[in-house]
Amino acid sequence: MPLGLRLVQRQQRIHDALRILAPHLDRDLYRRARRLAPEGLGEDEARGLAGAVTVRAALDAHRGDEPARASLGRREPGADLSDHIDAISQALRHPHLIDSIRQRVTTTESVDTDVS
């Protein structure tokens, strides 16, 4: 099978998976994770890290049959993430960093909720 065709098929599988995860993709989680990205990261790396946090949370929610959360928006499901899928794939190689950011986001979220 030609390499170009394999690439297109792989990209399609990623987009299909993002469509399945769309009801669990949380724009607020993405924004909070983006703000908590370590200083010194480039914009693409920071977006990739925030996207990785968001995708991992969506995967966990989907696997746990949790109800849908706020979607990433009105655009094509996962469009915000697919714009920087390469950076997300690089960030997914650092699960400890993703878990750390996700824990900080969750902690910040519960503190914000308790204050109101």
Secondary structure, 3-state, the chain? CCHHHHHHHHHHHHHHHHHHHHHHCCHHHHHHHHHCCCCCCCHHHHHHHHHHHHHHHHHHHHHCCCCCCCCCCCCCCCHHHHCCHHHHHHHCCCHHHHHHHHHHHHHHHHHHHHHC
The reported pLDDT for the residue numbered 112 is 54
For helices 43-63 and 95-115, the axis angle rounded to 10 degrees is 80
Per residue in 80-106, pLDDT tens?
A: 788 888 899 999 999 999 999 999 998
Handedness of CA 66, 72, 78, 80 (dihedral sign): negative
Q: Which residue has the higher pLDDT, 60 or 66?
A: 60
Report the pLDDT averaged over residues 49-74. Answer: 82
Instruction: Give residue 72's pLDDT band: very low, low, confident or very high (50, 70, 90).
Output: low
The reported pLDDT for the residue numbered 87 is 93
Per residue in 8-54, pLDDT tens?
A: 998 899 889 998 999 999 989 999 999 999 999 999 999 999 999 99
The reported pLDDT for the residue numbered 84 is 86
Instruction: Give residue 116's pLDDT band: very low, low, confident or very high (50, 70, 90).
Output: very low
